[in-house]
Structure 1
Amino acid sequence: MEQLDIIILVAYLLVIVGIGIYLSRKESTNAKDYFFASNILPWWAIGGSLIASNISAEQFIGMSGSGYVVGLAIASYEWLAALALLLVAKFFLPVFIKNEIYTMPQFLEKRFDNRVKTGMAIFWLFLFVFVNITSILYLGSLALKTLLGIPLWLGIIGLVLYSATFSIFGGLKTVVWTDVVQVVVLIIGGIIATIMILNAIDSNIIEALNQLYHKAPDKFDLILDKSNPEYKNLPGLSVLIGGIWVANLYYWGTNQYIIQRSLAAKSLKEAQLGTAFAALMKLLLPFIVVLPGIAAFVLDAPISKPDEAYPWIINNYVIIGFKGLAIAALIAAIGSSLSSMVNSTSTIFTLDIYEPFLTKAKENVSQKRLVKVGKMSSAVALIIGAIVAPLLGNIDQAFQFIQEYTGFISPGVVTIFVLGLFWKKMSSNAALWSVILSFPFSIFLKFLFPELPFMNRIEIVFALCMVASIGISIIESKYEKANYFYNPKGLFNTSLKFNALAFTTIGIITVIYSLFY
């Protein structure tokens, strides 16, 4: 990089670290303050933090790589996620907030029993540390290596230290407020990188998009047919009506790492409005992370792996001054996602594993001790992730890899939450078996039908888990009464502002799919 780019990048890093240190200067004295920002978050902070936490190297590097290979069809993950966010805001959040749910394992304990809660808490801890944190560190350090020549191991250490500044000491409050700053940087930086790669095709942006479309028309098919080699990852109309809904509801509605922001809102209305705001912002993301990958394909980028597309764009087409901002945007995406994941990992470990264990042992657990354990578990999660991250070096399309293997368990989890929230007869044993069966069902279908697209496999496993859960619950209803949440009339009513954002989002998505079907 040129000197100006280095100055911009270093200035950005110093500002974020400075904000993190400033917000962390007053030590949290209770768990609610550290893990849930004292429930003071406004809608705009929630929306910004949701997007900042969601966008990471997984999107900038992984989704651009998939854009290079697949094209615009990969954007279905983003656009259908916007609809999933609206469903979560309207139907999930009212039940969670009314019943004072702060962690997803806590919901499972209140609705089912301690077995389901503890089993899922342990699973989520392993998933967060060994899949999510690890992949963020690996992809992020890979990008830094490609862009700046920083050795992989050194990039991992740097990202760990950068994230630790505002994820360990300040808790969720620090994470969210730094997210608000970082989401602005990552969107502006991402837009700049997109504009500059389009300028390489034509100085007129509209004409550049037109040329992209005519030079690679198959990359603009939102619904792939069976002749497309990427049909196995995005199987035609099944994308609109199948497993992608399970994946999105799992990620946005049951994932502590994401939903923790909404649960820390001032009120239900603020939580819903912030989530709808995030849904609207999601519509912009494919233009930032997918279009550059398509442009790299059209420009015949000399890369050996699809996930090298975005770094290649920044190195070759983003001009002096803006390159520092574009790299700052990438680091912002990595740092915000990493800090959010670490905070949620420590939340589940501290409140759902550590505190109940000591309570059973009849020990008094002070608030200060919980905060201390939260900080220690955050540090441990980062260290483990840093050790495991280099082992991911053989992944081709990282985004697709993460989606497929998370899909081994997501059907069972979504079954638990959907039936647990909206069906009174769902029993604890049914919930337990839903999770247990999801993995072997997935493995069985993967090896027995290797040609079956994984998105369809998720859909089938979800159906099997639903049938098994309903059958077990009906049998058990003869002998015992299940716990359930009472949902009073009017609980799912939403404000005019939320409805306006929701209808706008739905309308835009309808237009997009009508144009690129």
Structure 2
Amino acid sequence: TSKPFLPQLIAPQTPALGMDSSTKINNPADISVIVIYFLVTLAVGLWAMFLSNRGTVGGFFLAERNMVWWPIGASLFASNIGSGHFVGLAGTGAAAGIAIAGFEWNVSDTDLNKRDMFSGAIFIQMAMGLNLYLAIITLLGVTGLYTITGGLATVIYTDTLQTFIMMVGSLILTGFAFAKVGGYEAFMEKYMNAIPSNTSYGNISIDPKCYTPRPDSFHIFRDPITGDLPWPGLTFGLSILALWYWCTDQVIVQRCLAAKNMSHVKAGCVMCGYLKLLPMFVMVMPGMISRILYTDVVACVVPSVCEQSCGTKVGCSNIAYPKMVVDLMPNGLRGLMLSVMLASLMSSLTSIFNSASTLFTMDIYTKIRFGAKERELMLAGRLFILALIGVSIAWIPVVQSAQSGQLFDYIQSITSYLGPPIAAVFLLGIFCKRVNEEGAFWGLLIGLVVGLARMIAEFAYGTSSCVNPSNCPKIICGVHYLYFAIILFGISCIIILGVSLITKPIPDVHLHGLCWTLRNSKEQRIDLDADEKQEDEGQGILKLTYNWFCGFNQKKGPKLSKEEQEERKKKLTDITEVPFWRNIVNINGIILLAVAVFCHAFFA
């Protein structure tokens, strides 16, 4: 039976996440660090608000397209690395070994703000003893405030701060973890022996494969049939998800569009790529060490023991990282690590809120209100963020009941059902001029229907675990989600090409600069742009202050002539680069690729 919301909100915290109150963050050193973190974040946010023009659509949603490479790279990383990584990557590492790091090296996972809310709340619930909903509402309040008022520039600059905090904090914890376990060699040996002491309940003995570390725990490439992350799926299925996430996800693309020029875009992406090499060592391996240190809790398999330890019957691997932080770190550093989790959570949420607001305002609201003025669009975008905050709170019990003890795996399976059709449309739209709107529409529609059918079936039959497998029929759920991504991508491509070939092509005059063969075309592309109307009204000091705080004030520059407008438009769409910087960025891209290949080979 469902429980009412208010009792959940105000009820005292149960000891389900099991820890002594003496280990919680309730000492002056930890609290001081957290307060300093919030003050610094607030200062950076206010500085960015003063610096940027938030009163126009371009200023609020694209930071006036004037960002340099290093905050873009930091923001890409911070937007991608949410608290779901610290909880989910470490948890899956604790349960199944290092293979999950292949998601970071091949591509990445996606960012769903609901899973980040849940995983961040797990950490705060353990560290501070706060109720789940109270923790979430507090976080949403702080995050929503500077996202609604600040715009993309504020989000990017605060993301840069969050990236620095995340890296420093996670590297410190990694050092503590390896020192505690006795070094890398001892880590490899002890992990394979991290078996819980309680492996039966009543007259039932649990299958040893459910609690014994996998023989291939220290291998990324695993058996194509019996592996939990089969290597063909990791290589090809994950590449499809990479195409979808890094090339079409609004959060990522919006940051790239905010860059000064193409060289800054590429340099920011390369910087993000270097940072993405680290999660294996600062998230996955610490999660595995947590299993060594707290075997009976993190690796529990008996439902009653798991429920007592972490509040869920299907496994406690999700608390691997937060438990180690709370139990292992000294006062002060524990507060720093909570700041790390807050940083990862807030950076992901601000990114989601700003980008979703952009999509709603520019792609939906403008179709509903054709003549909407700039001020109205800004207000609509901010109100949509408030709506997202409400949806985030409402979604928490759904994720809480669906998560199977391996949060990261749950997230990835969802993206495998919904991402491939979008990736197919994007890839064919770029490289095949013959693809048209009809083909894209039907390929996307049918692909999403097939993906939703699989997703709904898995939800309907419930979450499975090693101890209690799902009853979902093999014909529906038997195909690994990474293999399913490959199949779904193929189906979508066939439908897109088939429908496009039997319908009218799009004339080249509408495609200049939009597809690969016409990317360097100098001809004018014919499209429709709505004329923006400026609102001019007298304002008093109170209204000016209110408009500045909410980002409604528009910094009006000199009126541009038609020639100047054309020149500005050409500059914004120019993809040429200075040869020297182009070569520097390309060389770094090749080095990054070589390092990623080496890491795969070393841990293969």
| Pairwise TM-score range, normalised by the shorter structure | 0.7 to 0.9
Q: Does 1:59 align with 2:66?
A: no
Q: Does 1:328 align with 2:335?
A: no
Work out the CA distance in 2 between the residues paired with 1:188 and 1:182. 10
Match of 2:219 among 218, 221, 224: 221
Q: Does 1:475 align with 2:475?
A: no
Aligned to 1:458: 485
1:10-34 Cα distance to aligned partner (Å, 9 max, x none): 2111221232234335772211000
Work out the CA distance in 2 between the residues paired with 1:79 and 1:223. 13
Aligned to 2:233: 238
Aligned to 1:24: 49
1:256/1:480 CA distance change after superposition, 3 Å = closer
One-letter identity of the residue aligned with 2:351: S
Aligned to 2:7: none
Work out the CA distance in 1 between the residues paired with 2:290 and 2:171. 15
1:272/1:225 CA distance change after superposition, 3 Å = same
Work out the CA distance in 2 between the residues paired with 1:516 and 1:259. 31
One-letter identity of the residue aligned with 1:222: I
Q: Does 1:429 align with 2:438?
A: yes
Match of 1:193 among 173, 189, 198: 173
Q: Does 1:176 align with 2:156?
A: yes
One-letter identity of the residue aligned with 2:233: S
Residues matched between the structures, number: 460
More helix by share: 1
8 A contact 1:425–1:481 mirrored in 2 = no
**Where does 1:154-173 land on structure 2 (aligned, <5 Å)?**
154-173=134-153
Match of 2:255 among 238, 251, 261: 261
One-letter identity of the residue aligned with 1:435: L
TM value normalised by structure 1: 0.84
Work out the CA distance in 2 between the residues paired with 1:301 and 1:164. 38
Work out the CA distance in 2 between the residues paired with 1:151 and 1:498. 47
One-letter identity of the residue aligned with 1:373: A
Work out the CA distance in 2 between the residues paired with 1:20 and 1:380. 22
**Where does 1:254-403 land on structure 2 (aligned, <5 Å)?**
254-299=248-293, 300=295, 302-303=297-298, 304=306, 305-359=316-370, 363=371, 365-394=372-401, 395-396=403-404, 397-403=406-412
1:384/1:214 CA distance change after superposition, 3 Å = closer
Alpha carbon RMSD of aligned pairs, Å? 2.4
1:415-435 Cα distance to aligned partner (Å, 9 max, x none): 110011111000111101111
Structure with the bigger RCO (C-alpha within 8 Å, sep 6+) is 1
1:491/1:373 CA distance change after superposition, 3 Å = closer
Work out the CA distance in 2 between the residues paired with 1:415 and 1:44. 31
8 A contact 1:17–1:162 mirrored in 2 = no
Q: CA deviation at 1:498?
A: 1.6
| Higher mean C-alpha deviation, range 266-275 or range 447-456 | 447-456
Aligned to 1:47: 73
Q: Does 1:247 align with 2:247?
A: no
Q: CA deviation at 1:248?
A: 1.3
TM value normalised by structure 2: 0.72
1:209/1:491 CA distance change after superposition, 3 Å = farther
One-letter identity of the residue aligned with 1:487: R
Tell me the secondary structure at the aligned position of residue 54 of structure 2: coil
8 A contact 2:162–2:340 mirrored in 1 = yes
Aligned to 1:409: 418
8 A contact 1:35–1:347 mirrored in 2 = yes
One-letter identity of the residue aligned with 2:32: I
Q: CA deviation at 1:208?
A: 4.7
**Where does 1:503-514 land on structure 2 (aligned, <5 Å)?**
503-514=590-601
Work out the CA distance in 2 between the residues paired with 1:77 and 1:357. 39
Aligned to 1:136: 116
Percent of residue pairs identical: 27
Work out the CA distance in 1 between the residues paired with 2:180 and 2:453. 47
Work out the CA distance in 1 between the residues paired with 2:143 and 2:73. 20
